[in-house]
Chains A and B, each alone.
Chain A
Amino acid sequence: MSQTVANCPNCGAKIVFRWSSSVQTVCEYCKSILVRSDVDLKKVGQVADLPPDSSPIQINTEGQYGNKAFVVVGRILYEYDQGGWNEWHIMMNDGASAWLSDAQSEYALSSSLKASDLPAAAAVQVGQQFTWNNQRYTVSVVTPAHYRGVEGELPFQYWDKTKVTFVDLRTASRKFATLDYSDPEPALYLGEFVEFDDLKLKNLRSFEGW
């Protein structure tokens, strides 16, 4: 694994990119949000303190999905009116990027799929069906959420967002899809729900009394 090393333009601390395609990272010392350009790192913002959080996952948590090992390199924290959830940015050992979401200890793995003709947010209704990769998905809920904070490395710039609309689609199996309306162009993620034990996670946070 080749690591790219740079220095934080704000505090000078060493910044190590675990994933070569990372576009954004957060300085672990001064919490500056740094965006990578061709030559250097530019500070674009500052992460406010993240709320007390109960995810057992943290940056550097390692796990397994199928026969591939992965490591957690980044995170986006979202909030909606019923609570919050984490999208952990993971790097698979084949270099691919994926997302491990943790919504109140319900775990799911997904990755981005390039798709055209994705519906506009306003046009999506609960119960509507879509087919991607020969799999039929049914819209189960449309969630207005907001971006709460970031940590670590991300495959895109994500630091000045406010409101985000997510469309969750379910199937009769463990597979699901998410339509992400963070950007003007909708993004599609396909994935499946996974069992905590199957992920064989290591380097987890510990909880007092557990």
Chain B
Amino acid sequence: MSVGTPPPSGPSQVQPRALNCPKCGAAITLHSFGQAVTVVCASCRSILDAQDPNLAILQQFEAATHDVKPLIPLGTRGKLRGTDYEVTGFQRRSTQIDGITYDWHEYVLFNPYKGIRYLSEYHGHWNDISICKTLPTADFSGANYLGETYKHFQSADANTDFVLGEFPWQVRVGEKAAVSDYVHPPRVLSSEKLDKEVTWSIGEYMYGREIWDSFKLSGEPPEALGVYENQPSPVTINVTGMWVAFAAFAVLLLALMAVFDMRAKKEPVLQETYQFNGADLKSEPSFVSDEFALDGGTSTVQVKTSAPVDNHWIYVNYALINQDTGQAWDFGREVSYYHGYDSDGSWSEGSRTDSVVIPSVPAGRYYLRIEPEVDPSLRSTPYSVTVIRDVPVFGIYGIAFLALLVPVVIISFRAYTFERSRWSESDHPPMELSSLSNSSGDDE
């Protein structure tokens, strides 16, 4: 042997292994190279030992249904999180919960440098899954992984029903693993216990569209049905944070109201008490008040009307008239107060005082024209009229408050209904749903 350049250790390029099924002779190529531990013969459904040079037959299975076709065909390559992966394996798994069979699909993805990851698909919901490299801690209610808390969602037995392609583990049809899922949307942490070995994996929710784009698949991805365990909520904002912000805004509104209330002069410019006499009905019902001055700039003017009515009403037609320009503001106010007692207890309606604010009244000399009308059953009553200049207006704050409250309530409701749909499928359904399913269970 020459003492020249050493031969490379092993072939310079790793080739896919081409073999033949020992059972039926069909050609089998190992696409995941030495990482294939088991391989399924596509023509005779034998599960073969891919590590054995002669491909020893490990198991032969009958496909219960022949129409199990992967949505992503074996051999398809796609880019996931920046790395090219090839679909090398596919399995259908199922679980039985309350007598109902649920099944889902899992895809084995392979890259010779980055190794294996998985995709799962259930009713159009996808997850990108990899094996945990650090060990989560878990109990019955939840789990902790990399400092994040996951809530227990469901524990069930997962059966392997159908397999295709290559697997980096000893896959067998009919094998049953105990699976527990813990969620922290968009992630799901799963433990899978087979015999004594527990494998933890971490999945992240993916939309069918992303899968279709990654693997350049034709057609449309299957529609996602219902809400999946780790599907991200359409409400992306933190609902608690939103309420905190809302509360802060409400406090700000109150502070603004207090500031404007303090800054308002609230200057009384007219305060008169008049007497209405039913006996004088024939006389002219309209009269004018004393003159009063509104000093300073344009401001609000509040007119208060009060009368000691008791199951009666009085109605006053007002005109606020500018002595100099003749500009007038006409308005009518009613003061009525009714009360009584009925089968529901005592009740009352109305008030003995009425108040109205006229916005933007220019400075000047003014008087009120007053025209009272009174409940015919009321013979006579005193009533007083108060005019106050520069009062704060709070109505706009109420509108602002409502304008913010309504979306906050709607968003909270949407978040709540989404989470309720999510958890209704779990081992921990919301209260009213669990009692419903219990009662329907009794009927069966």
B13 touches A196 (CB 8 A): no
Within 8 A of B (CB), among A71-108: 79, 81-84, 104-106
B113 touches A196 (CB 8 A): yes
The contact size tier of chain B is 35 or more
Closest to B37 in A: A83
A28 on the B face (CB < 8 A): yes
A54 touches B33 (CB 8 A): yes
Minimum distance in angstroms from A63 CB to a CB of chain B: 12
CB-CB < 8 A to B168: which residues of A?
83, 104
CB-CB < 8 A to B33: which residues of A?
52, 54, 207
A82 touches B170 (CB 8 A): yes
How many angstroms from the CA of A59 to the CA of B136 in the assembled complex? 35
CB-CB < 8 A to A138: which residues of B?
135
Closest to B170 in A: A82
How many angstroms from the CA of A69 to the CA of B10 in the assembled complex? 24
CB-CB < 8 A to A151: which residues of B?
9
A170 and B9 in contact (CB under 8 A), knowing A51-B51, A104-B116, A105-B115? Answer: no
A53 on the B face (CB < 8 A): yes
How many angstroms from the CA of A12 to the CA of B1 in the assembled complex? 9
Interface centre among A12, A51, A54, A126 (most CB of B within 10 A): A54
B6 touches A29 (CB 8 A): yes
A51 and B34 in contact (CB under 8 A), knowing A126-B196, A172-B134, A205-B12? Answer: yes
A209 and B16 in contact (CB under 8 A), knowing A13-B3, A83-B37? Answer: yes
A202 on the B face (CB < 8 A): no
How many angstroms from the CA of A14 to the CA of B2 in the assembled complex? 10
B137 on the A face (CB < 8 A): yes
A193 touches B34 (CB 8 A): no
How many angstroms from the CA of A104 to the CA of B116 in the assembled complex? 8
CB-CB < 8 A to A81: which residues of B?
170
A208 on the B face (CB < 8 A): yes
How many angstroms from the CA of A84 to the CA of B198 in the assembled complex? 19
How many angstroms from the CA of A12 to the CA of B14 in the assembled complex? 29
How many angstroms from the CA of A11 to the CA of B14 in the assembled complex? 28
Minimum distance in angstroms from B165 CB to a CB of chain A: 16
Overall SS of chain A's interface:
loop
CB-CB < 8 A to A79: which residues of B?
51
A14 touches B12 (CB 8 A): no
Within 8 A of A (CB), among B88-147: 111-116, 131, 133-137, 144
B15 touches A105 (CB 8 A): no
Within 8 A of A (CB), among B1-46: 1, 3, 6-10, 12-17, 32-35, 37
A13 touches B112 (CB 8 A): no
B134 touches A173 (CB 8 A): yes
CB-CB < 8 A to A141: which residues of B?
197
B114 touches A83 (CB 8 A): no
CB-CB < 8 A to B53: which residues of A?
51
How many angstroms from the CA of A19 to the CA of B137 in the assembled complex? 41
Closest to A79 in B: B51
A174 touches B133 (CB 8 A): yes
B114 touches A105 (CB 8 A): yes
A104 touches B137 (CB 8 A): no
B249 on the A face (CB < 8 A): no
B260 on the A face (CB < 8 A): no
How many angstroms from the CA of A28 to the CA of B1 in the assembled complex? 11
A122 on the B face (CB < 8 A): no
Q: Which of B16, B35, B84, B137 contacts A208 (CB 8 A)?
A: B16
Minimum distance in angstroms from B252 CB to a CB of chain A: 43
Minimum distance in angstroms from B131 CB to a CB of chain A: 7
CB-CB < 8 A to B14: which residues of A?
53-54, 205-208
Within 8 A of B (CB), among A179-210: 193, 196, 204-210
A21 on the B face (CB < 8 A): no
Closest to A49 in B: B10
CB-CB < 8 A to B331: which residues of A?
none
A106 touches B115 (CB 8 A): yes
Q: Which of B3, B8, B15, B144 contacts A14 (CB 8 A)?
A: B3
Minimum distance in angstroms from B75 CB to a CB of chain A: 10
CB-CB < 8 A to A14: which residues of B?
3
How many angstroms from the CA of A8 to the CA of B115 in the assembled complex? 37
B169 on the A face (CB < 8 A): yes
Minimum distance in angstroms from B25 CB to a CB of chain A: 21
Minimum distance in angstroms from B353 CB to a CB of chain A: 68
Q: Which of B17, B113, B116, B133 contacts A56 (CB 8 A)?
A: B113
A104 and B51 in contact (CB under 8 A), knowing A12-B3, A171-B134? Answer: no
Minimum distance in angstroms from B189 CB to a CB of chain A: 13
Minimum distance in angstroms from B160 CB to a CB of chain A: 16
Within 8 A of B (CB), among A156-175: 170-174
How many angstroms from the CA of A173 to the CA of B134 in the assembled complex? 5
- A29-B7, A83-B35 provided; 16 other pairs, C-beta below 8 A? A51-B34, A52-B17, A53-B10, A54-B34, A56-B112, A58-B8, A58-B9, A82-B37, A82-B170, A83-B168, A84-B34, A105-B35, A172-B134, A172-B144, A204-B113, A208-B15
| Leading 7 A-B pairs by shortest Cβ distance | A105-B115, A54-B34, A54-B33, A170-B135, A207-B112, A193-B133, A28-B6
A-B contact pairs, 27 of them (CB 8 A): A28-B6, A28-B9, A29-B1, A29-B6, A29-B7, A52-B33, A52-B34, A53-B10, A54-B32, A54-B33, A55-B34, A56-B113, A82-B169, A84-B34, A138-B135, A151-B9, A170-B135, A171-B135, A173-B134, A174-B133, A174-B134, A193-B133, A205-B10, A206-B12, A206-B14, A207-B112, A209-B16
